Amino acid sequence: ITIRRATIGDIICMQNANLHNLPENYMMKYYMYHILSWPELSFVATTTDITVDEDTCSTDGASAADEEEYMTLDDNLGNSIKLDPTYVKPGEKLIGYVLAKMNDDPDQSEEPANGHITSLSVMRTFRRMGLAEKLMRQALFAMREVNQATYVSLHVRQSNRAALHLYRDTLQFEVLSIEKSYYQDGEDAYAMKKVLDLNELK
C-alpha cells in the first residue's frame, strides 16, 4: 500500500470511492478545483494487489511519466518548495483518499491562513489499518508546511463514530460547535478544528 499525492488522473477513482463510502458527493469540477488549486494538499492510498475484489478503481497508470517530475511550488513567503515526485504505478487501485483545500472564503480574508478537509474515505476492506490517520497527517503537514495554515477545520456527522474517533481521539481535533441540520437529510454536524503545530506533525 502506497500513500502519495493525488493527481488529476486520480479524480475519477476518488469520486468512485466517495460515491461508495459517503452520502456527500461532489461534482467532478469540485475535485478538479481542489487538485488544480492546491495540488500539494490531497492524497490517495493505492495498492497493486490484484486479488482485491472490492469495487476499487484503477488509477491512470498512463500518466505515470508526467507525474514523476518533482513539483515545485512557491510558498507565500517567496520561497520555492520542492515536493517529492508522485509515482503513479501502472495497475494501481485506489483504496482511500483525502480531499483537502485552503479556506478561500473572501468573507473570512481577515482570518489567518487555515485549511479545510472536504472529504476523507477508505474502502471497507482496508479500514482499521491506520490509512485514514496517515492520509490526514499528510494533508495537515502539507497545509502547515506549504501554506502556513495555522489551523484546519472540518465537519462530521454526529452519528459517525469511526470518523469521530479518528478526529477527536487520534488526531486531537476539538469540537467547536454543533451545526444544526448541516446535512441534507437533517443530521447535525460537529464543526471541528485543530491548531497545526509543525513539531507535532513531523
Considering only 7-15, 65-73, 80-88, 155-163, which stretch makes contact with ligand ACO by CB under 6 A?
155-163
Residue 142: CB minimum distance to ligand ACO, A: 16
Binding of residue 140 to ligand ACO (CB under 6 A): no
> Within its chain, how far is the Cα of 67 from the centroid?
19
| DSSP assignment string, 65-110 | HHHTSPEEEE-TTS-EEEEPP----TT-EEEEEEEEEE---GGGTT
Helix (H, G, I), strand (E, B) or coil at 82: strand
Q: Which of 24, 26, 20 is nearest to 123 (CA)?
A: 20
Q: Does residue 160 touch ligand ACO according to CB under 6 A?
A: yes
Q: Which stretch in 2-10, 28-36, 76-84, 115-123 sits in contact with ligand ACO by CB under 6 A?
A: 115-123
Strands 151-157 and 114-122: parallel
Please give the Cα distance from 80 to 73 (Å, whole number).
6
- Of the residues 119, 140, 143, 144, which one makes contact with ligand ACO according to CB under 6 A: 119
Using CB under 6 A as the binding rule, whether residue 128 contacts ligand ACO is answered as: yes
Choose which of 21, 103, 150, 158 interacts with ligand ACO (CB under 6 A): 21
Q: Applying CB under 6 A, which residues contact ligand ACO?
A: 21-22, 117, 119-122, 127-133, 154, 156, 160-163, 165-166, 169-170
